[in-house]
Amino acid sequence: MKHIETLNEKRLQNTVEHGGCGECQTSCQSACKTSCTVGNQHCENPAQR
Amino acid sequence: MIHQYKNNGYDIVLDVNSGAIHIVDDPTYDMIGEYEQKSKEEVISDIARKYPQETEEDIREAYDEITQLKDQKALFTPDPYQDRVIDYTRRPTVVKAMCLNVAHACNLSCEYCFADEGLYFGKKAELMSFETGKAALDFLISHSGQRRNLEVDFFGGEPTLNFDVVKQLVAYGRQREKEAGKHFRFTFTTNGILLNDEIMEFANQEMDNVVMSIDGRKEIHDRMRPFHNGDPTWDIIVPKYQKFAAMREALGKQYYVRGTYTRYNLDFAKDILALADLGFRQISIEPVVAPREAPYSLRTEDIPVLCEQYDILSREMIKRHGTPEEFNFFHFMIDLEGGPCVYKRLSGCGSGTEYVSVTPDGSIYPCHQFVGKTDFCIGDVYNGISRDDIVTEFKGCNVYSRPKCRECFARFYCSGGCSANAYNFTGNLRDVYEIGCALEKKRIECAIMLKAAYREKGE
């Protein structure tokens, strides 16, 4: 596209079907203990990636 | 729903429900703002008037690109999740992460400590016994259902005050994980005072991540994180942290230096850069969460100053990107391609359900922030969960159960925010902590802008 550059291919709605395995890290177990930072966690579900 | 903003020369459009992120030119940015409100010809006429240098052909082309993205469900995507989340809240309770408070005791007197200088409002210091720790790990395994990866963070107080028990528990966990078909990811958080070669070597073998507490510049750190007698600590911990971080980097193992900023250092970007200049490459600095009456607590009127600090920080990170001085800031991390699924984003940190905290006497709380609030004790590691009503309340916490989150662009990044902060500031688990929200939104905006900038630099 000439006027719009899209940064990412992944679409959240496509994760509905195979999501929810729960294997990914709990946000407060990484490096935040007072703010909820979920968007930076990595998906660990091979079917999802 | 979309969110549009301009930052550092980039015109950014976030399609909230799909997570698609678009960088656009100025006329397209304005056109997207009008697209759902006006007819095609009205929009094109408005843009032509505002941007006389643009040809009609270009304007129509931009309009068609917007329509194409809408058709691809990458712009103006409707919310398809609300009905599904109701089913998700009925899921079986599975525990997979545990904050194990092996020491309700601390060798420092940090002024802002949420844990009452490690005592968690108890009358005396308390260390977890090996037996209680074993019962906690057994509880975790037996309540983890099909989950393979189990997370245990040795926390406190200061966990190095009880490190022999930490070592015993790691050995016990390694034995049990084989039998149970699980994998423990151990981590620990330390203030660094008792950190020594033996602990570092042990952690390098066994710990997936280590979190080293430090607030940044010496004068900032020493003001808030002294010994009980007031003596400073920065000079003691920094050389040890530098050694530990270098060891972890050489081994390809994760670490963070993590600190807290307060009203005493509203120029906190300087603290992050000070840590980077000390050689640390993985940095997390968070806003203090403190009662309004505390002199160091952040106030609503501080928000613009704090947001400006995140802008200063992000611009400096762009400058350093690709150089030996490059560093990672935890709260600007955002995984646009491999990030979590929508279920994770809906339900957040999992406190009180997937994630619990255990005290030295074996009591179970929804998370470390609730420890000591006895009304929130949900059971103990010997007898299991006794307060299903509280667990159900936490399980119901998600972005749709919090009215203020439903219309917020950040809802799939913070996932409704911290329940403890909401409770502490409003008395309601399903409300939000407004200052925290404002800062989280700013961090998300900066994180997305950084992705655009790094791409431009050729990442």
Q: Report how far residue B405's alpha carbon sits from residue B398's, in angstroms, rounded to the nearest whole number.
A: 9
Beta carbons of B339 and A41 less than 8 Å apart: yes
Question: How close A17 comes to chain B (CA, Å)?
Answer: 10
Given this model, what pLDDT does residue B73 score? 97
Buried b (16+ CB within 10 A) or exposed e, B245-257: bebbeeeeebbbb
Phi/psi for B304 (5° steps) reads: -60, -40
Across the interface, of A5, A33, A43, the residue whose CB is closest to B368 is A33
pLDDT averaged over 10-residue windows placed end to end, chain B, 459 residues: 98 97 98 98 98 97 98 95 72 90 96 85 92 98 95 95 98 97 96 98 97 98 97 98 98 96 98 98 94 95 98 98 96 87 84 94 96 95 96 89 91 89 92 94 96 89
Interface confidence (ipTM) of the complex: 0.90
| Sequence-ordered list of residues with C-beta below 8 angstroms from that of B410, at least 6 positions apart, any chain | B437, B440, B441, B444
Across the interface, of A4, A13, A23, the residue whose CB is closest to B17 is A13
Q: Report how far residue B430's alpha carbon sits from residue B413's, in angstroms, rounded to the nearest whole number.
A: 17
Given this model, what pLDDT does residue B27 score? 98
Given this model, what pLDDT does residue A31 score? 64
| Residue A16 sits at the chain B interface (C-beta within 8 Å) | yes
Beta carbons of B58 and A10 less than 8 Å apart: no
